Amino acid sequence: MIFDTHTHYDDPRFDPDREELLLSLPGLGITRLTAVAADLKSSHQALALAERFPFFCAAVGVHPDNADELERLGEEEAARTLKELAAHPACVAVGEIGLDYHGEDLYPDKVPRPVQQKWFRFQLEFMKERGLPGIIHSREAAADTLKIIREAGGKELSLVHHCFGYEKETAKIFLDMGHFLGIGGVVTYKNGRKLKEVVQYMPLERILLETDCPYLAPEPCRGSRNDSRRLTFVVQEISRLKGISREEVERVTYDNAMRFYRLTEENA
């Protein structure tokens, strides 16, 4: 059984075949999935997917590239809105939240760093108040991500670092805090040496499998629309890197995800 811990099936690229694709997944061994939000609209859509498909759970929150949405609301209204979303019984996490400094020189409408940092801190505090785990997005922002997480509690927080993209030294810091790392298609890339080293180094018990679909399709499907069926390529590469069976990778990472999202077979 495979647990895809990070999906975006609300994306319009799935409009032509979403229902057919999702209904096929349990029969292919992908028995649990998390619909992860990037803004308030997709937070509602993630919850709707979890209502429609019993093998889904949902994460609600606002991605750093959309942090200006919360800025327009203000803290009081943002807190009220997030509280309503997180009260849904299908909500198991806050995310994806964090920092993204990629393309600051290219995109004039990029959310400024201070605004991203403000709402990252805000959502971490909200996560703590609700007693939920968090899904962290961090791109070209390792130092500030680490600083803010440490200020918020560090090892006291239950976090997964989604689509982990930093070097082994940074991985060690987060792993020493007891956090998980999300591993997806990038580990299969020929130029994914840095992530391959991280996977070889880290304990299997700290890996969560993820697609980030429709993004980051693994080899040999790179460049096409990604979906959960392609996690088999990620499992195969992790198995190769760690010298263990594919069955063990699937079993341990499934248990990891159930533990991280605080699910049991009865309440999932």
Percentage of residues of the chain with pLDDT beyond 70: 99
Q: Which domains are assigned to the chain?
A: 2-260 (3.20.20.140)
Contacts of 10 (CB under 8 A, 6+ apart): 35, 42, 45, 46, 49
Percentage of residues of the chain with pLDDT beyond 90: 96
Residue 80 half-sphere exposure toward CB, CA atoms < 13 A: 5
What does the pLDDT look like over 179-195, one tens digit per residue?
999 999 999 999 999 99
- Give the mean pLDDT of 134-155: 98
The predicted structure's pLDDT at residue 267: 55
Neighbours of 144 (CB within 10 A): 17
Question: 175 vs 50, 108, 118, 128, 223, CA distance in Å?
Answer: 30, 35, 25, 19, 30
Question: In sequence order, which ranges of 65-141 are alpha helices (DSSP H)?
Answer: 67-73, 75-86, 113-130
The DSSP bridge pattern shows strands 207-209 and 180-183 to be parallel
What does the pLDDT look like over 210-220, one tens digit per residue?
999 999 999 99
Judge whether residue 21 has pLDDT over 60. yes
Judge whether residue 266 has pLDDT over 70. no
At 97, is the secondary structure helix, strand, or coil?
strand
The predicted structure's pLDDT at residue 105: 87
**Distance (Å, rounded) from C-alpha 234 to C-alpha 251?**
14
What does the pLDDT look like over 114-125, one tens digit per residue?
999 999 999 999
First to last CA, the chain: 15
Contacts of 267 (CB under 8 A, 6+ apart): none
